[in-house]
């Protein structure tokens, strides 16, 4: 051993070679094979790849029955047909537009509720609320976000429709309507809009606010003219994500919107959404391989494609916002 080799050892009194048999103090080559680490690393990578596998699995599990479905029903009839009665023996019709109008109405009503209330809450929390108030209100939003959708559905069915819509507002709606489902759906997605928008506005640097105020703008002008535009892509992302959740939500619409699939012309009408149809059909009898089973997956595929497109837009918007700050 050269003198160089035991270079640092005397500092703590024990010779370097004590580190273990065969330890070469200057070689930089791997001293032990560390097989265990490679195994663990393999497990970690496999776990990460599982998420890709899940996506592949979703696509396959939807696509295969859907392909069988489209062997029997034409694409044009499915996408543009206006009558949906897959179980009306003898007169089956597979036009998905009624389900789409149902989804469109509930989603639209939900956004009409969630955007103003969610953004209002977000602006207050981000720009106005003292930290003490924020500490109380943010958990309230978290609790609201944590309430199961089946509970919201029950709320729509037993309170919003009979008490609010009928008794309080005197509207002529029945137990089931896209209005009551959409209203409650909107309440459910308020936390999504509020908390993501608040994050976006809080991320706007204070320098911008101070700059605006230094020019003489008051708080409201600063919020609306400076903070809001600066955070706009983050806010848009929150709304788009909320839209995706509204389209994909099942339990509320299954309970409150109704089970008749017809073209929905107005908010007080009964309607069935895509998710509502899947829930209703799934709880009944459906045997794999039959047309009625495949119908389920054709609608599921459409739902997946729609939400996928919406999600991608939201992911893009978030990335744009992150790049800005």
Partner 1 sequence: MATIGQLATRPLKAERNGDKSPASILFLVALWVALSFAVLTLVVLLVTSFMDALPRLDGELFTNYSSQVSPETAGARAAIIGSLWVIVATAVMAIPLGIAAAIYLEEFANPLRWYNRMIEVNLQNLAAVPAIVYGMLTAGLALTIGLRRGVVLAGAIALALLILPVIIITTREALRSVPAEIRQGSLALGATPLQTVWRQTLPSAIPGIATGTILALSRALGEAAPLLLLGGLVFIRYDPNGLFSGFTTLPIQIFNWAGQPQVEFQEVAAAAIIALLGLLLLMNGLAIVIRNRYQRRW
Partner 2 sequence: MISTTTTADDAPDASTSASDSSSVAAAPRPQVGASGGTDRYLPEHPTPVIECENVDIYYGAFRAVHDVSLVYGRHEITAMIGPSGCGKSTVLRSLNRMNDLIPGARVTGKISYHGQDMYGSGVDPIEVRRRIGMVFQKPNPFPKSIYDNIAYGPRVTGMKVDSMDDLVEEALRAAALWDEVKDKLKQSAYGLSGGQQQRLCIARTIAVRPEVILMDEPCSALDPIATARIEDLMEDLRKDFTIIIVTHNMQQAARVADRTAFFTAQAAEGTGDRTGQLVEFDLTSKIFSNPADRRTEDYISGRFG
Q: Minimum distance between the CB of residue 98 and partner 1, rounded to whole angstroms?
A: 18
Burial 294-317 (b: 16+ CB within 10 A, else e): bbbbbbbbbbbebbeebeebbeeb
Q: Minimum distance between the CB of residue 239 and partner 1, rounded to whole angstroms?
A: 13
Q: Does the footprint of partner 1 cover residue 121 (CB under 8 A)?
A: yes
Burial 236-257 (b: 16+ CB within 10 A, else e): bbbbbbbbbbbbbbbbbbbbbb
Among positions 225-244, residues that touch partner 1 (CB under 8 A) are 241, 244
Rank residues 9 and 93 by Cβ distance to partner 2 and give the closer one: 9
DSSP assignments along 276-320, one per residue = HHHHHHHHS---TTSHHHHHHHHHHHHHHHHHHHHHHHHHHHHHH
List the single partner that 70 binds among partner 1, partner 2, none, CB under 5 to 8 Å by kind.
Answer: none
Q: Quote the DSSP letter at residue 130.
A: -
List the one residue out of 225, 195, 193, 197 whose CA is nearest residue 209.
225
Q: Does the footprint of partner 1 cover residue 195 (CB under 8 A)?
A: no
List the single partner that 8 binds among partner 2, partner 1, none, CB under 5 to 8 Å by kind.
Answer: partner 2
Q: Applying CB under 8 A, which residues contact partner 2?
A: 2-4, 7-16, 18-20, 25-32
Q: Does the footprint of partner 1 cover residue 67 (CB under 8 A)?
A: no
* Binding-site member from 73, 109, 178, 254 for partner 1 (CB under 8 A): 254
Site track for partner 1 across 134-153, x = CB under 8 A: ---x-xxxxxx-xxxxxxxx
List the one residue out of 111, 129, 126 whose CA is nearest residue 193.
111
* Binding-site member from 28, 48, 130, 172 for partner 1 (CB under 8 A): 48
């Amino acid at each position: 051993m050269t003198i160089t080799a035991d270079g640092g050892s005397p500092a703590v009194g024990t010779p370097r070679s004590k580190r273990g048999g065969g330890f070469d103090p200057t070689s930089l080559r791997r001293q032990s094979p560390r097989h265990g680490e490679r195994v663990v690393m393999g497990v970690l990578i496999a776990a990460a790849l599982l998420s890709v596998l899940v996506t592949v699995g979703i696509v396959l599990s939807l696509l295969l029955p859907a392909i069988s479905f489209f062997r029997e029903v034409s694409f044009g009839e499915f996408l543009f047909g206006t009558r949906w009665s897959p179980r009306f023996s003898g007169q089956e019709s597979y036009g998905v537009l009624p389900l789409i109008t149902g989804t469109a109405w509930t989603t639209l009503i939900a956004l009409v509720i969630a955007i103003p209330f969610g953004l209002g809450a977000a602006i207050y929390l981000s720009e106005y609320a003292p930290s003490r108030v924020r500490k109380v209100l943010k958990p309230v939003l978290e609790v609201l976000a944590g309430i199961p959708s089946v509970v919201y559905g029950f709320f729509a069915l037993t309170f919003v429709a009979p008490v609010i819509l009928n008794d309080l507002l005197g509207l002529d709606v029945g137990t089931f309507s896209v209005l009551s489902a959409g209203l409650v759906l909107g309440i459910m997605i308020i936390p999504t809009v509020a908390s993501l928008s608040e994050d976006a506005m809080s991320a706007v640097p204070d320098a911008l606010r101070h700059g605006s105020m230094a020019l003489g703008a008051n708080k409201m002008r600063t919020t609306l003219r400076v903070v809001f535009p600066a955070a706009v892509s983050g806010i848009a992302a929150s709304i788009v994500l909320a839209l995706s959740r509204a389209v994909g939500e099942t339990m509320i619409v299954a309970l409150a919107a109704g089970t008749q699939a017809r073209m929905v012309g107005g908010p007080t009408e009964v309607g069935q959404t895509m998710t509502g149809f899947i829930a209703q059909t799934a709880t009944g009898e459906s045997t794999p391989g039959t047309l009625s089973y495949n119908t389920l997956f054709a609608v599921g595929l459409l739902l997946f494609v729609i939400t996928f497109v919406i999600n991608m837009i939201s992911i893009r918007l978030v990335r744009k916002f992150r790049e800005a700050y």
